[in-house]
A and B are shown apart, each in its own frame.
Chain A
């Protein structure tokens, strides 16, 4: 497939230029020109008022191997220090759904950890667990992990592999896709099976969450995706479920990197703002460092991290690394709680794609309420202590 400009029809109006998500159309000598950045997303096809941009079908792109020999849905079961990561349970939930639609089996690949964890995975829904045990696998290390997964794929040929879009998944899975020459879609937030072709539709945000894209890998297998933690529903736990454990020998794996030390951190800034699921942010309205203590406490109770408006940073109540907005960080948590923040556009651009926005402000006219899912009109000095008290009560 190619996208071409019919120069005889093109008037050089430039509509297509601004429509392209990839900066790939320019005006050259008064005509539109498609450059190397084109991703063939077809957006421009519909915007040209002259119909001068057309799609041309070439001969089949990419070789099609025997795709039908690839069967089954796999989940890479991430573990850290022998503890199965939450995202793994979410992937098993999603994997079960996909396997059901494709009428195929769900398997998990567990590297490191022990038989107890392998059994856990079965209880969480895996029909089969490929388990490689060995001290060199207990700690995450890119090369042994990718070598083993590549080996398993070559032997058992799954059609889909899901891994968490975590530090681990996003680091070693690209090596697997590179070696196997197949597609890898990063950080998906939704997955579906295309009814006609059986292909996996991989939906993900791009451009800092400003647009969504559906990605396909039609001619290569397996189709591999990393999936953003906390968007898929966890699998159902059933300790009575039965399944098979396949032991995988891990001889012959090697590594040129060595993990010398593992340092776990649990400070409040451990969760990077941009990866945080819950952010409680304070603005000028929280009134000072003391007000920020409440913001911190609330964030702590919710297992979230602390953000701030520029006004609060400029006041010196909190360091710059917490600033959200145009000149700070762009964030997209599940829940964003804005306390005493007016909602200036420079702040909004940094947080308005959050799933749920809760605004606490004493001024009912504050623009933050325009983007808020829930708004509480009230004084933070009253609302925050009450929320904190109630959450503590609930926990106790």
Chain B
């Protein structure tokens, strides 16, 4: 079974803050990491390989420094990696990103594609299902467990808002995974050595055979108009009276918000 895992390098958003006066980000020294959900995607692919054999290829679309993320993937045990990188990709929204990744995947060929549920910088959760549409293959989102897998089918548990569904698909298929699916392994020593030595192959827009009008800003239907700080903290409200009266007032408030 040949698996491709799509990973994204993202800033560690727990530390991103906006300066409310200048509307700019305060981000001194914030490290770049592999999108946490994508670590679970890598782990899921490695487990498939361990169970039924095959190859795991990890790809990312991003600037040259995203190479670091790919090295980390090698240290976890990926067989191959590709950096999908080209100036022409600048400004890609989810449509253009999905298009670009699908072109790369078409070139590489595979049976199962793993994505994270969402990237923590954009939080869109759109790229996975859109890639599947471009490739004209089925997808299953929010996979929390792989129940069974054979050479031509896969059966998984898909997380829903009120429980989960058991879904079966034929292969090829794209899965997006949630954290519950596994615990990502730590890099092995051997893996770290391999990562250090690895030569990272790069694919540009020509190598993936993409149409220029579908790439980057030009290929992106959506535009970011502006960014701003979330509304700064709501006014503080004082609850009057003794403890019991305070609690009454608060329950009243909860009720007003239809929460009680």
Contacts and interface: CB of A to CB of B under 8 A. Distances in A.
A142 B139 CA distance: 8
Contacts of A22: 121
B230 A209 contact: yes
Given A39-B91, A40-B217, A258-B167, A214 B86 contact: no
A81 B247 CA distance: 38
Contact of B133 (A146, A210, A356): A146
B130 A330 contact: no
A171 B140 CA distance: 8
A69 interface: no
Interface residues on A, range: 35 or more
A378 to B, nearest CB: 5
Interface stretch (A120-128, A129-137, A306-314, A385-393): A385-393
A213 B25 CA distance: 13
A39 B134 CA distance: 22
Contacts of B164: 263, 265
A327 B167 CA distance: 33
B123 to A, nearest CB: 6
A208 B218 contact: no
A376 B14 contact: no
A374 B260 contact: no
A36 B167 contact: no
A143 B129 CA distance: 11
A215 B224 CA distance: 5
A35 B63 contact: yes
A105 interface: no
A371 interface: yes
Looking at chain B's contact residues, is the secondary structure mostly helix, strand, loop, or mixed?
mixed
A181 B25 contact: no
A176 to B, nearest CB: 8
A18 B26 contact: yes
B120 interface: yes
A13 B91 CA distance: 24
A208 B247 contact: no
B132 to A, nearest CB: 7
Contacts of A142: 129, 138-141
Interface of B: 11, 13-18, 22-28, 32, 62-65, 85-87, 89-91, 93-95, 98-99, 120-130, 132-134, 137-142, 155, 158-170, 173, 217-230, 233-237, 239, 243-244, 246-248, 250-251, 253-255, 257, 259-260
Given A178-B129, A214-B226, A334-B259, 14 more contacts: A46-B24, A62-B219, A80-B160, A175-B130, A177-B126, A178-B95, A206-B123, A208-B120, A210-B17, A210-B18, A212-B228, A258-B167, A260-B168, A304-B259
9 contacts: A80-B161, A179-B133, A206-B227, A210-B18, A215-B225, A217-B222, A302-B254, A376-B246, A376-B247
